[in-house]
Amino acid sequence: MLQSKLFYKTEKPDKSASRILTGEGQAISNELLVRAGFLDQLMAGVYTFLPLGFKVLQKIENIIRKNMESAPVSSQEILMPVLQPKENWQKTGRWQSLDILFKVNGSGDKEYALGPTHEEVVSPLAKKIIFSYRDLPLSVFQIQTKFRDELRAKSGILRTREFLMKDMYSFHATQEDLDKYYDKLIKVYLNIFSECGIGKNTHQTLASGGSFSKYSDEFQTITDVGEDIIYVCKKCKLAINKEIKNEHSKCPKCGGADFDEKKAVEVGNIFKLGNKYSLPFDLKFKDKDGSEKPVIMGCFGIGLGRLMGAVAEINYDEKGLIWPKSVAPFLVHLIQLGNAPKINKIAKKLYTDLQKKNIEILYDDRQDKTAGEKFAEADLIGIPYRIVVSENTRKSNSVEIKERNKKQLKLVKINSIEKTINK
Amino acid sequence: MLQSKLFYKTEKPDKSASRILTGEGQAISNELLVRAGFLDQLMAGVYTFLPLGFKVLQKIENIIRKNMESAPVSSQEILMPVLQPKENWQKTGRWQSLDILFKVNGSGDKEYALGPTHEEVVSPLAKKIIFSYRDLPLSVFQIQTKFRDELRAKSGILRTREFLMKDMYSFHATQEDLDKYYDKLIKVYLNIFSECGIGKNTHQTLASGGSFSKYSDEFQTITDVGEDIIYVCKKCKLAINKEIKNEHSKCPKCGGADFDEKKAVEVGNIFKLGNKYSLPFDLKFKDKDGSEKPVIMGCFGIGLGRLMGAVAEINYDEKGLIWPKSVAPFLVHLIQLGNAPKINKIAKKLYTDLQKKNIEILYDDRQDKTAGEKFAEADLIGIPYRIVVSENTRKSNSVEIKERNKKQLKLVKINSIEKTINK
């Protein structure tokens, strides 16, 4: 991508302005994501992903999809509707009880819910497909836009009214089978957060089950802008959400009694739904002995925008963002200093050659920016490798390579670049 | 994918039942897509894409994305919100004038539109990024869910209340530059429809510009379930929509005066917006001579679900769907006949081997279905290659290969399968 053509605009730091723009409780991640041109805010809690942000979102989406499709999860991707019939939400009582539910009037006095989650759609759908114990277990997921009428949308993309979510629903013949699947998913979730570069900061956290179940497991990423308080066991790193901490004086996993109190943001949440949604939708199966039983369900969510916000919140310095390679919008930021034809020729060739090798590259080809402006913006955007082509590097048939998270500059011969950068 | 684990259910043909289900004006494509387990209808005009349907959708999405990103289109992917502020829609007058607009009340007396199209978001967004003639031309696109409160949602996925759309917006310094880009896009669109397998049946069609512009160009696919009437020039294949046919006694392209009247469904629509949306949002740029001018805009849409419906509508026979390879959910449908261990071993090995070669394969491993049931379902689902492993084929170390759109059966040695099937 040529930077001169990129659909973005970076902003100068102006804390007062951006705090007014996005409301109080502003997360640094969000300020940086807006300033660096990854996001644009349309209104409180509602954002556009610009090309840089969309590329990060795609990387996160692909990491999640790969983990959902592969064994032992083996989930199948579907796409359920946003518009949902009122009747389904009345059946579970959530038309009245869920205060964040957006309600829409359509022509002919029709009323719809804008899906904040999809138990009310997936349960009656599964009823058309699941009949016998032989059909179980089954698991489906979608990556889809959700809506929640948050009274106060704050902390930028950490809490929004409209957001992309991966929601997976699993169906089992027995509680034991759900328990086994659920335990596997905990490991897969921790793996997803590691792949996205926030593994060390993210803790499995015992929590309340909200409107879904008694308890649930959250995945909480430690950050000072987090809205949740968690207690991390010093011994085994399991955490307990403050909301249920009084029920647990000791760590339920290792028995430890020493905890660190931390602020954190929830990036994932998984629930054992049991028969809570299969009963109202009469979702049952015929077991081996011929008896009919309700299907046992689990549900497993990850917020993609939140995850992106959490990655940014943990990976930045005073100059800007520092993307982990796995989710960076580009791997290489190629910067041409000076507009002399010889330098331009080298930079252009490098741009073409690296692209041919499937290296994702943003090429700062702008002629009206100073070296200082280009470097400052590269630091703000935070692409893993910065490669500089200049009059100086040309003389030695080299380029200057710097990793965003390191201080050191390396002069590298042009034919050794590929060996030096590590996908 | 093992068919015994696939999240789907085929239905027996029951015309009266499915017509009641989906209302009148039911398209055959939709009946087949529901019966074959690609789609599930949640309510009138609102569908879930099941795994088979989602795979087709992904293929179509990738064809569109590839064409949008590559030269000469060079558009950048973004993701704009569904929830849009009332104020933006008041600015263009469409809060009142657009009768299909879904309006949503949020907490604190807020009112939102559910985006049916995104001029009201992309124009003020572009204003933050475009300043000078040097910033032009620019083009962005998204693949995103749209909402339209259709009074009568009919013809299955050909007209729905919620649908995936690729909408692209381009920005230009002059009308001439837009005109050139627009002409390029016509060719790219025709190419997309060819790649999806409906090229021969799809015509560029002059049409009214609706609320966007005086004229527009539609892309109409000829089918008896289409809601539009078009007149196709016998000489050059350009078509004219009935709504403006009285303004054109001769073909504007070749001057021909002989037309065929056809029913058709609109799969794409492109508009020269000019300054219609840049004026209300004060989207202007500084030209070379220092003067300020409004940015000239174009907009370019394709409905993904509609395109899938049109592909199905054109590619079927009395037994079921016949997918073009480019958008088929799988390339190969492997069918095991009989449950003898020897046959099972051959089929399993073939399944693993073909997957390793990146051939997408659905393996009918079900033990409780007869050969007749398996063949009937394979014909209904419509995967391009059917490969049968049976006691008969085992004896000659072969498999039986049949293409869905041909009558002929071929006995092929196992080690020659890859040569025989053509991606």
Residue written as token pair 């299955």: B156
Q: What is the pLDDT of residue A17?
A: 40
d(CA A94, CA A324): 40
Question: CB-hemisphere CA count at 13 Å for B212?
Answer: 22
Mean pLDDT in residue range A284-313: 97
Residues B226 and B304 in one domain: yes
DSSP state of A274: E
pLDDT band at B147 (very low <50, low <70, confident <90, very high): very high
Q: How far is A77 from chain B (nearest CA, A)?
A: 6
Do the domain assignments include residue A322? no
- Tell me the residue range of the domain where B368 lies: 330-420
Cα three-residue angle B251-B257-B262, rounded to 5 degrees? 80
Q: How far is A255 from chain B (nearest CA, A)?
A: 40
| Contact assessment for residue A228 and residue A266, using Cβ atoms and an 8 Å cutoff | yes
Whether B17 shows a pLDDT value over 60: the answer reads no
Mean pLDDT in residue range A233-243: 96
Among A40, A103, A161, select the one facing B128 at the smallest CB separation: A40
pLDDT band at B153 (very low <50, low <70, confident <90, very high): low
B393: Cβ contacts below 8 Å, ≥ 6 apart? B399, B400, B411
Do residue B102 and residue A106 have CB atoms under 8 angstroms apart?
A: yes
Percentage above 90 pLDDT, chain A: 87
Q: What is the pLDDT of residue B214?
A: 81
Do residue B82 and residue A82 have CB atoms under 8 angstroms apart?
A: yes
Residues A105 and A215 in one domain: yes
Residues A349 and A294 in one domain: no
Residues B210 and B282 in one domain: yes
Residues B282 and B145 in one domain: yes
Residues B216 and B254 in one domain: yes
| Contact assessment for residue A399 and residue A414, using Cβ atoms and an 8 Å cutoff | yes
| Contact assessment for residue B379 and residue B35, using Cβ atoms and an 8 Å cutoff | no
CATH number of the domain that residue B121 is part of: 3.30.930.10
Measured between beta carbons, which residues in chain A are less than 8 angstroms from residue B151?
107-108
Mean pLDDT of chain A: 93
Residues A177 and A304 in one domain: yes
Mean pLDDT of chain B: 93
Q: What is the pLDDT of residue B166?
A: 98
Among A48, A54, A106, select the one facing B149 at the smallest CB separation: A106
Among B7, B83, B140, select the one facing A138 at the smallest CB separation: B7
Do the domain assignments include residue A388? yes
Residues B180 and B96 in one domain: yes
ipTM value of the model? 0.95
Q: State which residue of chain B sits closest to A152, comparing Cα positions.
A: B107
d(CA B187, CA B179): 13
User: Where a domain ends, among B282, B316, B350?
Assistant: B316
Q: State which residue of chain B sits closest to A103, comparing Cα positions.
A: B104
Residues A87 and A217 in one domain: yes
Measured between beta carbons, which residues in chain B are less than 8 angstroms from residue A48?
78-81, 121, 125
pLDDT tens digits, A52-61: 999 999 999 9
| Contact assessment for residue B184 and residue B73, using Cβ atoms and an 8 Å cutoff | yes
Residues A312 and A361 in one domain: no
Do the domain assignments include residue B379? yes
DSSP β-ladder status, B398-403 and B409-413 = antiparallel
pLDDT tens digits, B343-401: 999 999 999 999 999 999 999 999 999 999 999 999 999 999 999 999 999 999 999 99
| Contact assessment for residue A73 and residue B48, using Cβ atoms and an 8 Å cutoff | no
Q: What is the pLDDT of residue A397?
A: 95
Handedness of CA B285, B291, B292, B298 (dihedral sign): negative
Q: What is the pLDDT of residue A19?
A: 37
Answer whether the bond into residue B280 is a cis peptide, omega within 30°.
Answer: no
Cα three-residue angle B55-B7-B345, rounded to 5 degrees? 90
Whether B19 shows a pLDDT value over 70: the answer reads no
d(CA A134, CA A171): 12
Do the domain assignments include residue B305? yes
Whether A190 shows a pLDDT value over 50: the answer reads yes
Q: How far is A101 from chain B (nearest CA, A)?
A: 9
Q: What is the pLDDT of residue A13?
A: 67
Residues B213 and B311 in one domain: yes
pLDDT tens digits, A333-348: 999 999 999 999 999 9
Do the domain assignments include residue A325? no
Do residue A129 and residue B102 have CB atoms under 8 angstroms apart?
A: no
pLDDT tens digits, A322-377: 999 999 999 999 999 999 999 999 999 999 999 999 999 999 999 999 999 999 99
Among B8, B51, B129, select the one facing A7 at the smallest CB separation: B129
User: Where a domain ends, among A283, A317, A351?
Assistant: A317
Do the domain assignments include residue B176? yes
Q: How far is A396 from chain B (nearest CA, A)?
A: 34
Q: How many structural domains is chain A composed of?
A: 2
Do residue A79 and residue B107 have CB atoms under 8 angstroms apart?
A: no
Cα-based distances in Å from B150 to B161, B311, B369, B393: 6, 23, 42, 53
CB burial of B274-305 (b: ≥16 within 10 Å; e: otherwise) equals: bebbbebbebbbeeeeeeeebbbbbbbbbbbb
The H or E element containing residue B38 is none
CATH number of the domain that residue B370 is part of: 3.40.50.800
What's the residue count for chain B? 423
Residues A193 and A227 in one domain: yes
Q: What is the pLDDT of residue B154?
A: 62
- Strand, coil or helix: A44: coil
d(CA B164, CA B142): 10
B258: Cβ contacts below 8 Å, ≥ 6 apart? B233, B234, B235
What tokens were used for B204? 């560029």
Do residue A162 and residue B129 have CB atoms under 8 angstroms apart?
A: no
DSSP lists the bridge partners of residue B272 as B298
pTM of the model: 0.95
Do the domain assignments include residue B111? yes
Measured between beta carbons, which residues in chain A are less than 8 angstroms from residue B128?
9, 40
Mean pLDDT in residue range B24-43: 84
pLDDT band at A22 (very low <50, low <70, confident <90, very high): very low
Whether B132 shows a pLDDT value over 90: the answer reads yes
Q: Does residue B186 or residue B20 have the better pLDDT? A: B186
Beta strands in B173-251 (DSSP E): 202-208, 215-222, 228-233, 239-241
Q: Does residue B39 or residue A11 have the better pLDDT? A: B39
| Contact assessment for residue A204 and residue A238, using Cβ atoms and an 8 Å cutoff | yes
User: Where a domain ends, among A317, A343, A373?
Assistant: A317
pLDDT tens digits, B270-305: 999 999 999 999 999 999 999 999 999 999 999 999
Lowest-confidence pick of A69-83, A152-166, B252-266: A152-166
Do the domain assignments include residue B32? no
Whether B318 shows a pLDDT value over 80: the answer reads yes
Whether B187 shows a pLDDT value over 70: the answer reads yes
